[in-house]
Amino acid sequence: MEFNELYETLKHRVYNTVLSYLQSAEDAEEITQDVFVEVFHKLADFKENAQVSTWVYRIAINKSLDFLRYKNRKKRFGFMSSLFNQESGELQFDKPEFVHPGIQLERKEQAAQLFKALNQLPENQKTAFILIYIEQLPYAEAAKVMDLSVKALESLVQRAKKTLRDKLVNFKN
């Protein structure tokens, strides 16, 4: 498959996947661009033992997780005093709630709660949930993306759903 055709076919799916992880349109655009730069450079080396979309999803997920790890490390070691009120010592800023642009207006509050809870899941459960419920990939393809058996993926999805249910139980409709 030619790069331009691959890009046109997958750019929106990759962006949506990355956006589900990063919850920032600006960061998602940057990482999506990074994904396709890597795809462009490595396309000639791609071995067709998997679908090209599966391979691209793996790159997108890995770049998203790497970005989040970097961002969290940077936060931990950053200069913290600017975040706190000098007099009271209280946090001055709250992280804005993320609302995925594809969510209908009346469901934005529920979506914000879901993404807040989703961010608290372990990486593998978060990835499984995003691929199955947000990206709506078939279990077989999602399992290939995560390099797992379908049974292992099903188990991760069930654990993610249970954890999310527990975290969202106090949320009122």
The model's pLDDT over 134-169, given as tens digits with 9 standing for 90+, comes to 889 999 999 999 999 999 999 999 999 999 998 888
Domain range for 140 is 97-173
User: Per-residue confidence at 92, pLDDT binned at 50, 70, 90?
Assistant: very low
How far is residue 171's CA from residue 135's CA, in Å, rounded to a whole number?
24
pLDDT tens digit string along 32-64? 999 999 999 999 888 777 789 999 999 999 999
Quick check: is 92 in a domain? no
Q: Are 61 and 104 in the same domain?
A: no
User: Per-residue confidence at 4, pLDDT binned at 50, 70, 90?
Assistant: very high
How far is residue 107's CA from residue 28's CA, in Å, rounded to a whole number?
22
**Residue with tokens 């730069």, as numbered in its chain:** 37
Q: Are 37 and 105 in the same domain?
A: no
Per the CB < 8 A criterion, the answer to whether 78 and 33 are in contact is no
CATH number of the domain bearing residue 120: 1.10.10.10
The per-residue pLDDT for 71 is: 80
Q: Are 110 and 67 in the same domain?
A: no
> Is residue 14 predicted with pLDDT exceeding 50?
yes
